[in-house]
């Protein structure tokens, strides 16, 4: 029972970080119908940017806030330089551009920071575990989960109560109607990429505190894809629930299956689950079901 509760607690906390990164996937798909295959590289960039600020003496929380600011700038520049001219073009063309963007950003990260594993020094979180009853919880998981939930609440409130957030939702629901009401599609797409950079970047910073920072952080960003598919590609609540469920699935499979199938089964199980899940719920738990009649 103790092992089960430890896996449950750790899975929920890691799932909160996955949910934050999944929000970036959902936003871009929700606003433009594009599956952004460069999300892993966005996660890497956020991890290295926060590490750079922290290494020059900026405390971690201000470093995260600065990472958010850098994410806004990079998101707007990325949309304006690479994707602005593709508005109205076939979706496949835009997806292929995100593939090229993925390789470009990966090469840029290698050029700027190299391929060596970096760790936050001094450590951001205490190494000594926190005791909650008979559970031993690592502070890095606990505080990363708390920060993820705070940022998720901020983003949800932004979409629900601000004019910009409502404009993004209106464009996602019916782009033609939103344009007729004066909503700028260019602004919506730029804002979606900016928020995607922000959420993926902070998620990368938190994952970097757990595992160290190297190119594998980009793989962790792609590991969020099963969470997005599970919740629904255009559902913000689905991204949150899907992230937590995939975090639980990954930790339980690592706890109970690694002893029988050594070699990283916890990284394989989420994708295997996604493949099976799509057979029965191709739109996810809360995704829009689009039925086209010819």
| pLDDT attached to residue 53 | 92
- How confident is the model over 220-253, as pLDDT tens digits? 777 788 888 888 887 878 888 888 898 899 888 8
Whether the Cβ atoms of residue 205 and residue 54 lie closer than 8 Å to each other? no
pLDDT of residue 20 exceeding 70, the answer is yes
What is the sign of the dihedral through the CA atoms of 6, 7, 10 and 12? Answer: negative
What is the sign of the dihedral through the CA atoms of 185, 27, 192 and 155? Answer: positive
Q: How confident is the model at residue 290 (pLDDT cuts 50, 70, 90)?
A: low
Lowest-confidence segment of 34-43, 97-106, 164-173, 200-209 by average pLDDT: 164-173
pLDDT of residue 254 exceeding 60, the answer is yes
Q: How confident is the model at residue 293 (pLDDT cuts 50, 70, 90)?
A: low
> Can you tell me the distance from the alpha carbon of 117 to that of 213, in angstroms, rounded to the nearest whole number?
5
- How confident is the model over 151-170, as pLDDT tens digits? 888 877 887 888 888 887 77
- Angle at alpha carbon of residue 276, lines to 243 and 245, rounded to 5°: 20
- How confident is the model over 73-86, as pLDDT tens digits? 988 888 888 887 77
- How confident is the model over 167-181, as pLDDT tens digits? 877 777 677 777 787
HEC letters along 11-72: HHHHHHHHHHHHHHHHHHHHHHCCCCCCHHHHHHHHHHHHHHHHHCCCCHHHHHHHHHHHHH
Helices (H) and strands (E) in the chain, counts: 12, 2
Q: How confident is the model at residue 291 (pLDDT cuts 50, 70, 90)?
A: low
- How confident is the model over 187-216, as pLDDT tens digits? 888 888 888 888 888 888 888 887 788 877
Q: What's the whole-number average pLDDT of the chain? A: 82
Give the single-character DSSP code of 130.
E
H-run or E-run covering 77? helix 60-78
| pLDDT attached to residue 294 | 47
Long-range (24+ apart) CB contacts under 8 A made by 90-95 are 91/33, 91/34, 94/32, 94/34, 95/34, 95/35, 95/37
Q: How confident is the model at residue 66 (pLDDT cuts 50, 70, 90)?
A: very high
| pLDDT attached to residue 196 | 84
Highest average pLDDT, of 30-44, 56-70, 263-277, comes from 56-70
Structural domains of the chain in order of their starting residue, each with its CATH number: 2-280 (1.10.3470)
> Can you tell me the distance from the alpha carbon of 157 to that of 181, in angstroms, rounded to the nearest whole number?
23
Q: How confident is the model at residue 182 (pLDDT cuts 50, 70, 90)?
A: confident
Rg (CA), the chain: 19
């Amino acid at each position: 029972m103790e092992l089960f509760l430890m896996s449950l607690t750790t899975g929920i906390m890691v799932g909160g970080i996955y949910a934050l990164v999944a929000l970036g996937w959902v936003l871009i798909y929700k606003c433009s119908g594009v599956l952004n295959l460069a999300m892993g590289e966005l996660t890497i960039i956020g991890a290295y940017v926060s590490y750079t600020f922290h290494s020059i003496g900026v405390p971690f929380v201000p470093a995260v806030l600065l990472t958010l600011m850098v994410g806004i700038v990079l998101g707007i520049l990325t949309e304006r330089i690479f994707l602005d001219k593709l508005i109205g073009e076939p979706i496949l063309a835009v997806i292929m551009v995100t593939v090229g963007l993925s390789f470009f950003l990966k090469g840029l990260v290698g050029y700027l920071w190299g391929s060596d594993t970096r760790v936050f020094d001094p450590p951001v979180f205490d190494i000594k575990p926190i005791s909650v009853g008979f559970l031993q919880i690592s502070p890095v998981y606990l505080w990363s989960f708390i920060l993820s939930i705070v940022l998720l609440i901020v983003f949800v409130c932004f979409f629900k109560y601000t004019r910009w957030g409502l404009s993004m939702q209106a464009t996602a629901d019916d782009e033609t109607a939103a344009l007729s009401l004066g909503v700028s599609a260019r602004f919506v797409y730029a804002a979606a990429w900016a928020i995607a950079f922000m959420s993926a970047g902070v998620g990368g910073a938190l994952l970097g505190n757990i595992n160290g920072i190297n190119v594998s952080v980009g793989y962790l960003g792609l590991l969020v894809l099963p969470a997005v598919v599970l919740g629904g590609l255009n559902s913000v609540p689905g991204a949150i629930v899907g992230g937590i469920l995939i975090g639980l699935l990954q930790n339980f499979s690592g706890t109970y299956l690694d002893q029988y199938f050594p070699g990283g089964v916890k990284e394989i199980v989420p994708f295997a689950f996604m493949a099976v899940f799509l057979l029965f719920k191709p739109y996810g738990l809360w995704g829009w079901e689009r039925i086209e009649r010819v």
